[in-house]
Amino acid sequence: MKRMMIPFLLIALLALIVNGCGKQKSSAEEEVKIPVEVMAVKFGEVVQSLNYNGDIKAEFEVKVFSKIPDRIEKLFVEVGDEVRKGQPIAKVVATTIEQAVLQAEAGLVAAKAQEANLRVEFERAQRLTNENAMSAQQFDAIKTQYEAVKAQAEQAEAMVKTAKSQLADATITAPISGIVGNRYFEAGDMASPVMPLVTVVQMERVKIIFNATEEDLGRLALGQKALVKVKTYGDVPFEGKVVKISPVLDPMTRMAEIEILINNPDRKLKPGMYAQVEVITGIIKNAMVVPRNSVIESTSMERINGDDEVIKNYFVFVVDSSKAHQRKLKVQYVNHRYVAVDSGIVVGEKLVISGQNNLREGVAVSIANEEGKEL
């Protein structure tokens, strides 16, 4: 009985070993398949654009100076205050000018009185001359004296206007309506004609100025839409447009100045913010479009017209019968998100969009998303 049990146990052990090897082989075959995600190739459109960086500035920014170099008596505004054109911003001590105004006005009164007296004498001389009771020589002397006094009165009047204008300059007013952006002085400081008291900015619209290369100028045009992003608001874009393109290039940098203008009614964009600008230069329609991150890019050296040139190549993988196949693309345009393809793939093919870096030609794959994804 014992002898019969031994062969039976050996047979059972062999069966277990065989079955175990079969399972390991099956697992090994499954591990060979590389998991990928795919999407169907479709027609779409790709936005053509140029990207720049720049600082946001107010559309208008005016520095307000004091014409009088004297001590600041009072400042009427704080940073952030809204001001209207002509509104007082500061007042400078003007005691000397006030005295000058009083002196000029007194001089004008005296000159006018003298003019009035001589006018009476001049009119009397005219009557006497008409009656031949006064010689021409006497009349000319009185006339000359009267005209000189009239000139003195006019000069005194001009001095009064000048003095009053200087006195008016002691009260500094806003040249434009806007918001006080900066204030550089405090009451009691000495104002200077070379240092602004405040800056007044208009922020209902803001602008960004940047430099574009000679190559980019051929793609830029007035009125093109621009999308502006700042860190404060993440990926939320603000829409603007190209309003100025410099007609000349800087001879040192070979670049031209471009200006973007953005509506800013809520004043979310602040002067001084760092911005990323995307200028939309065109749209490619009815092209095969694939995600940029699904494309494998490489460079190679090729000899063209006797010169060695660096050529950029674009490859993708497609899945057919559970196998990966590499395709070289003929590319029409590339931006940071998508690639517009002329040829190399066919609409409807399963394009690998995840896991392509682990593939090679003919390798078996398993599709993690059987239905694929849409672009």
Domain count of the fold of the chain? 4
User: Are 238 and 275 found together in one domain?
Assistant: yes
Please answer whether residues 101 and 160 qualify as being in contact, where contact means their C-beta atoms are separated by less than 8 angstroms.
Answer: yes
Residue 11 included in any domain:
no
Asked if 238 and 300 sit in the same domain, the reply is no
d(CA 241, CA 220): 11
**Cα angle value 180/185/187 (rounded, 5°):** 110
Angle between helices 136-168 and 95-130 (to 10 degrees): 160
Residue 245 belongs to a domain with what CATH number?
2.40.30.170
CATH, residue 77: 2.40.50.100
Among 228, 251, 283, the domain boundary falls at 283
The one-letter amino acid at 237: P
Tell me the C-alpha distance between 348 and 366, whole Å. 18
Pull the structure tokens for residue 147: 């005209």
Question: What is the domain extent for residue 85?
Answer: 66-92+170-196
The answer to whether the beta carbons of residues 41 and 340 sit under 8 Å apart is no
Tens digits of pLDDT across the chain (375 residues): 444 444 544 544 555 554 555 555 444 445 578 999 999 999 999 999 999 999 999 999 999 999 888 899 999 999 989 999 999 999 998 877 777 778 888 887 888 888 888 888 888 888 888 878 788 888 888 888 888 888 888 888 888 888 787 778 889 999 999 999 999 999 999 998 899 999 999 999 999 999 999 999 999 999 999 999 999 998 899 999 999 999 999 999 999 999 999 999 999 999 999 999 999 999 999 999 999 999 999 988 877 777 778 889 999 999 999 999 999 999 999 988 899 999 999 999 999 999 999 999 999 999 988 554 444
